[in-house]
Structure 1
C-alpha cells in the first residue's frame, strides 16, 4: 500500500479528468471484486481492505470534482473578461449603424422636402452683393469660394429674418394698442345712445318752445319720398288736412326702408331698360310677356312701405290723451295698381265692418277698375281672406281715376255721369274721416 502511494507521489500530477476516470475505473473494479468474493464465499476480511480503497477512491472523486468546478469557474471568469471588450465593440458598431441610418434618413428627408412657399428662393447673388452689410460679406466661412458665398447668403437670409421678426413684434404691439383703443371707443359708442336719449329727453322742452320740427315727422317725410304715387297722394292729403284744419289724426309711414330703396332702384333700372329697348318692340313685348307669366303668383305683392292712420275722437280735443277710435293701414298692390285699406283691430273681422259700410255699394269685394279685373282673370274675384280691401273711396283718395265700364250714351242713362261725379266728390278726406268716426262711435256706443 505504501509502495503504491509512493508511486503516486513520484508520478506527475494528473489532470482532474484523468483522476476522475481512474477513480471511476478503480471503484468499478473494487465492486466487481466484492461481488466475486460474495459469490465464491471467501472470508469477508478482504472486504475491509476493499472498502478502504473504495473510500479513498471516493475522496479522489470529490477532489477531481472540486478541481473541475474550480477550473470551470476560472474559464467562466476568463470568458466574461474576454466578452466585455467584444460587447463594447458590438455596441459601438450598433451605434455607428444607427447614426448612419439616421443621417441617411435626414439626408433623404432634406432632399425630398417641399416648402410651403416653393416660389420663394434664396436671395440672389446680385441682391446679396448689393444689399448685404459689409460685416457679413467680409467674413470668411470656408476655403471653397462657392460654399463660402452660399454660407454668407444664408447668414444674410438669417439676418433679414431676424429683422422681420423684430418688425413683426413691433407691429403686434401696435395692433394690441389699436385693439385696446377700439375697445374703449366701442364701449363709448355703445353707451352713446343712452346719453343721446337722455339728451333728447332733456331738450324736448326747448324743442317745443322754439317750435322746431318734430324729428319723427322729419323721419316720416323722408320715408314718404319712397312711397308709390298713390300712397304719397294719400299721405299728403292727410298731412294737409291735419295741418290746415288741425284734424285729430296721426299719420305714419311704416315698413322696411332698405326694401323700399331696393324697389325704387329696381324701378329706375327697369325704366332705363325700357328706354333702351324702344327700337326693338317685338323683343320688348316678349320680355314683358315673360315677366307677366313669372309674376302670376305675385298678383298681391305689396309695396314695402305702408301708411298707418290713427283716427282719434274729435270731441275730446282738449284731452291731452284723446280716445283712439281706429287705426287704418293703407297699402299699395303693385301688380293690380290698387290701394287697399284694413284695420288693426281683430274684433272687426278680417275686412272691418266700419270700412265696409262707409259708402253704399262699396264693400271692397271686387276690383275697383277694369285693368285689375283683367289682371285677376275671368272670375274677377278678389282674395277675401286678406285683411285689407280695395275700396273705391281709397282709390279716390289716392288719385286713381276709375272710368265707367260703359259709356252713358251706350247705357242710355244720362244721369250716370253726374252720379259718378257726385260720388267721387263725396269721397274726400274730410268726408271719409267724418264717416269713420260716426261708424266707429255708433259701433262702440250702440243705442
Structure 2
C-alpha cells in the first residue's frame, strides 16, 4: 500500500477543497492498486522495454532532425509529446511495480508471521510431547515400596481373607488392570491386618519371654547355690560308697587313670566319653597302660621334654667315636664289641610314647568293629593313632577283608589327611636331627599322625593352640559321625567286593530303578596294585591328571558277552562313596579300543563315570549300581553295533543318533525299561 506520507504537498485551499482532493487521490490510488493487482508482470515488463525503446528511437530522430536543420524548432513537438506520453506510461508502470513490491512485502510479512505462529505452536506441541513422555516414563518407572513386600499367594488370600475383601475377586480376570490394582490393594490391606495381629502377638510373647527369663534367672541362682551342697553330699557319701562298694571299681580305676593321662589325651578322653554317654553310641572308650610308669612320668613331666642340643664339637666327637668303632669292628673280626650308637639312642628318646593311651572301639550291629588307639609322643608333641579291625565272620574274601583294615578306614577321614606327615612343623627338624629323612618311615613304629587326631585332642598347630578344650569339643562329634559313617560304608563295600570275588554282581537297594538281567556277565575280578594300574595304557589320562593316588584301592575285572571282552580297571577312594569309583575301560572286540583311540569307548566311560542321576549315586552301593549299568551299557553297545552276532535283549528305538553317532545309554523305567538317547 502506498503510504499517505508520500502525498504531494498541496496548495493552501479551503478544507472542503482539500478533502475533495484527498478523496480523489485515494480513489486514484485505490484504482491503481486494483489495476496493478490485476495486471501481469510480464506484460508490464514488455510495455516498459517497448516504451524505452520507442523513447530512444524518438530522441534519436529528434537529434537527427536538429543535425539536419537547426532552424526547425517546432517540427518535433509531436515527437516530444509522444516521448512525454511514454514517460508517463513508464512512471505509471514504475508505480505499479512499487505497489506490487509493497504488496509482496506485506504478503511476505503476513506469511512470515503466520509461519512463525505455526512454528511457535509446533514448538509448544513438541515441548508438551516431551513433557508428557517424561511424565509417562516416570509413571512407568515408578516403583512403590509395596512391591518389596512379600504378599501371601493369591490362593491363600482367597482362602484365609475375610469375605469383605475376597468376595469381589471370585471371578478375577488377570487381564483387567483395574481389577488387578484393586486386588493388590485388598491384599495389602489383608497383609496390614495380619501384621498388626502378629505385632500384637509378638508383644505378648516378648512379655511372656521376660517373665520366663526372670524365672530362669531365679532357678539358675538356686542351682548355683545347690552345687556346693551337692559337692558336700558327694564328698560325705564317698566313705559310704567305698564301704558298700556301690560304684563300679573299673569305672573308678579308669577315672583315676584319666588324671595321669597327658593333657591332649585327657581332653580327648573326657570329650569322647561325654559324647558317648549322651548319645548312647556303640562306642567303647578305655584307658590302656601301666599305672606305675604313668605316675613316674608325671613326676618328671616338669623337666625338659625336648632333646638336649649337643654342640657341634660333641657331634663331631660322637661321629669320630662311631667311626672308630666301625674301624675296630673291621680290624678285629674275632672280637665283638658291644657299642651303643648315640644316634639310635637319640632316635629312641625322640620317639618316646607316653605310658598311657586311649582306645576307642566303634562297633556295627553286624559285628564288625574298628579299634583305634591314641598315643601321645612326648618329645614330638603329637598324637599318633594305630588301628585294627574285628571283621565279621561273614566277610571271608581277601579283597573284602583288605577294605576293612584299620588304615583304610581311618585314612582320609578328613580330605587329604593320610597321617603320613607330622602336623607339628617342629617335628620335621627334630627327626632330621636324629638322621631320619622323612616322617613316613616312622609310621610303622609310632602310628599315623592324622591331623583330625590332633584336633580331637585339642591341638591346632596352625593357630598355635595346644591343649584347648574348645577345639577338642568341637571336633569330637564330627569325627565320631564320620567314623561310623565310614565304617558302615566300608562294610557295605566289603560285602559287594566279596560277591564280586565270586564273579557275581551284588544285589543292592533300589534295583527296580536299574536295568534287570543284563546279558553281559562278570568273568574275572581281582585286586591290583597302584604300579600295575599305572602300567595300563588306558589309565594314563587319570594318572597324569592325578585323579588317582597310591592311597586308593585298585581292582581289575572282565565283562564278557560272546566274543567281546571288556577289561575294566576301577579306582576307589578312601572317602567312598562321597567320591564315586573311577572306571577305565578297554574293549576287545574286532580290535582293541579304549578312550584314547575310540570315541565310543570314551562315551561309554563318560556314561559310567559321570552321567548318573539316580538316588543310589551317593550311597554305599554305588559300585554295584555302576557295574550293573556298565553291563547294560555294554549290551546296548554290542547289540547296536552288530545285531546279528548279539541278539537284542534290551529295548531301544534307535541305534545311533546325532552327528556324534551317540548310543542310547539313557535308561528310563517305562515298563521293563527302555534305553533312549540323551
| Structure 1 length-normalised TM | 0.40
Bigger helix share: 1
Q: Which has the higher contact order (CA 8 A, sep 6+)?
A: 1
